[in-house]
Amino acid sequence: MHKSRLGNIVIDCPTDDLLEQARFWSAALGCPLPADPEADGRFIKLVTPPGDVQVIIQRVTHEARAHLDIETDSIESEVVRLQRLGATVVSRKERWVVMQAPSGHRFCVGSPYRDGFDRGATTWD
């Protein structure tokens, strides 16, 4: 048995000005910017209520899109479960696995990111 749940909504932005993109999404979604956003970094995590799904604005080199991160207490078990549902592995990273749904949407599977995982995650056989 293992557990999983939706962890992050990641908005992928091919941009030189990540802070500008984060400002837009902050205003659009009503999620404040962090007190000291790292404008030169790879991502800016907007402020969401404790335990809620996180919203991350991420600098990328591919086309603009949004993807989901599924958090789990067993990456390999979750990957196998999702493969049985029709997803495929795109690549394996050190701390997460990039997968593709039958619909063509990419998503990531990684370890828990936020509080309340044991209370809010679904248990799978």
Say what the pLDDT of residue 120 is: 86
Q: Which of 55, 1, 67 is nearest to 28 (CA)?
A: 55
Q: Which of 70, 88, 66, 67 is nearest to 78 (CA)?
A: 70
The pairing of beta strand 54-59 with beta strand 2-13: parallel
pLDDT tens across 32-53, in order?
999 999 888 999 999 999 889 9
Percent of the chain beyond pLDDT 70?
Answer: 100
Say what the pLDDT of residue 8 is: 95
pTM: 0.87
Answer yes or no: CATH 3.40.50.2000 is held by domain 2-124.
no
Say what the pLDDT of residue 51 is: 85
